[in-house]
Structure formats: C-alpha cells, structure tokens
Amino acid sequence: MSWQSAVACWLLRRQFRPETLKPHVSVERARAHAASRLRRQSVPRGWRLTVRGRPGDAPLRGEWLERPGDLARGAPMRTILYCHGGGYYFCSPASHRALVFALAARSGARTFSLDYRLAPEHPFPAALDDALAAYRRLLADGTAAESIVIAGDSAGGGLALAALVALRDAGDPLPAAGVLFSPWTDLAATGGTIESNDGVDPMFCGAAIGRAAQFYVGRADPTHPYLSPLYADFSGLPPLFIQASSTEVLLDDARRAAERARAAGVSVECEIWPKMPHVWQLWTPFVPEAGRALERAAHFVRAHALERVVHPVEVDSMAR
C-alpha cells in the first residue's frame, strides 16, 4: 500500500465516510459534494473531448473521447462504452474523467462515457434502458460488436454487467468483453463483507448500501437480475475483468459475481487488491496503484476487443 493510497483513505474517512454514517442518505448533499469535487482534467495529448446530446435526450447524452487523427485516416480502433458510478443517484461523466481518460489513453480505445438518467427521479429500469439504447445506437451506426467493451465502476459496474445480461437475453450481438471496477451487483445488500468490512472500508459504512439502493430500486424487486445482476444467469456472457479492494464493503459483490460467472463457464479475471479505497482507479495519477490497475484493465481491453474501422459520421450521429 503506497503512502498516496494511505492519504486517499485518510481523506475519504474524514470527508466521505461521515456522510454514509448518517441515518438517511441525502441525494442533494451527495450531488453537491460530487459537484464541489470536480476539477479540471487535461484531455490526453492527441485526443478530443466532445459532449454530446441535449437535456431530454437521455440515451444519447454523454462524452466522446476520441483521437481525431485516427478517425480522419480511417484507422481501425476499439470502442469503450463507459458507465460511471455514484450509486445511480449522483456523479456524471465529468466526475469520472480522470479514470476514463486514463483508461482510454492506456488502451487506445475511443470512449463514450454515458450520461444516463439518475434516480430517484428516474428509478429502475431508466439507467439500464439508457445503457442498452446507447449500445444499440453504436451498433446501428456501424460499430462492430466485437470491437466494443462495456465498462463501469461501482453502480456503473453493476449497470455494465446488467446490460450484458439484458443484451444476451434480447438476442443482441454481444460486445467483446466487460470491465468492472468495484461493481455493485447486489442491491439487495446481502454480501457478507457489508458487515465484515464495515469500519475497515474508508469510504462507506455497511448500512448505507441498502439505504442508497432504494433510490434506484424504487418499487422493483431488488433481486431482479437486470437490477442486481448477481442474481442473473451468467451463461453466454463475454469475458469479464473485475477489480475490487480487499477492504471495501462491496467486495462480496465482485467476488460472488466472479464465482457465478466461472460456474457458468464464463472467462473471468478477478483481482482483489489489498487495502485500496473503493474505485481507487479514480485517484489516478495521484495513487500509483490506480495507474497500475488501469494498465491491467487496458491490457484486457486490447486482448479481447478487435480493432475495426470507424467512420467520423458514426461518432457524430450519437448527437442527433
């Protein structure tokens, strides 16, 4: 554990964990906190960031990070559809740019970071509907399924996994792989580490998980496989890459998902990193373990997604 990671854990214990200890989860405070933590993030050299969509165009809202030179010369490339974390009720593509930019730069993949609708204004299945619509729009625009990776962190990791399950059930062409950082896969909050890692996790108290889940669950069954993909049939899913921390309360959400996937014959790489904060990949470049974790994820993307030619009109059409 680096000193930088120790500092990140200390900051989270002082600034974020006290909020999760409160008996009620405040959507307003969470959104205000996320907005106050936004910092200017430099776009990687040679890349271009473009915000797409308008208010009300929920399935099409998001941010493209792409290399204009590759598009101009018709170079083959990979595509990542990214779903940000934030409990389904706060955060945005802007709050997760550090992670997304670093993953794109390391993998060389153009990335669409989805701005899906948030709960409680838009409970389940709104976020899933938006993720499915964005993926299908990529296919309709000519992006090859075998060149796409669906990725996400925390709630976004659970959303990415739920999207894979829903796409398989609907008979859609499946993407090449899924990448999940500290995924929230069980909104019924039954994981043993919710209790065993309570007090050890620098970011969350265990009781906050079930309370936060209610914003997105609404009146639905929290064990619905499209809501909590841990309860899904994993057979036929593409290869999965999962990273989680040994001390986070959501460890069992990642660990049990990996076990169920393996039991169903799915290829899975599941890495448990010691004593890291929840979604420590967000702390790049300050925390060295974040960079190393993202490099491993990028290697997985390069190993599983095939490069295919993308025409500029395909990117632009996501805005229409």
Which of the residues 122, 248, 289, 304 is marked catalytic? 248
CA distance 315 to 143: 9
Which residue among 92, 95, 154, 228 is the active-site one? Answer: 154
How far apart CA 52 and CA 61 sit, in angstroms, is 5
- Active site residue: 84, 96, 278, 304, which one? 278
Strand bridging mode 110-114 / 79-83: parallel
Give the helix ranges, DSSP H, for the chain: 3-15, 17-20, 27-36, 68-72, 97-107, 126-140, 155-170, 193-196, 207-217, 251-263, 288-304, 312-316
Active site residue 63: no
What are the tokens at 104? 């794109």
Coil vs helix vs strand at 247? coil
Question: Is 154 a catalytic site residue?
Answer: yes
Q: How far is CA 220 from the centre of its chain?
A: 22
Q: Annotated catalytic, 317?
A: no
Question: In DSSP terms, which residues pair with 118 in a beta bridge?
Answer: none
Which segments within 3-154 are labelled E, that is strand? 48-52, 62-66, 76-77, 79-83, 110-114, 148-153
Q: Is 273 helix (H, G, I), strand (E, B) or coil?
A: strand
Catalytic residues: 154, 248, 278
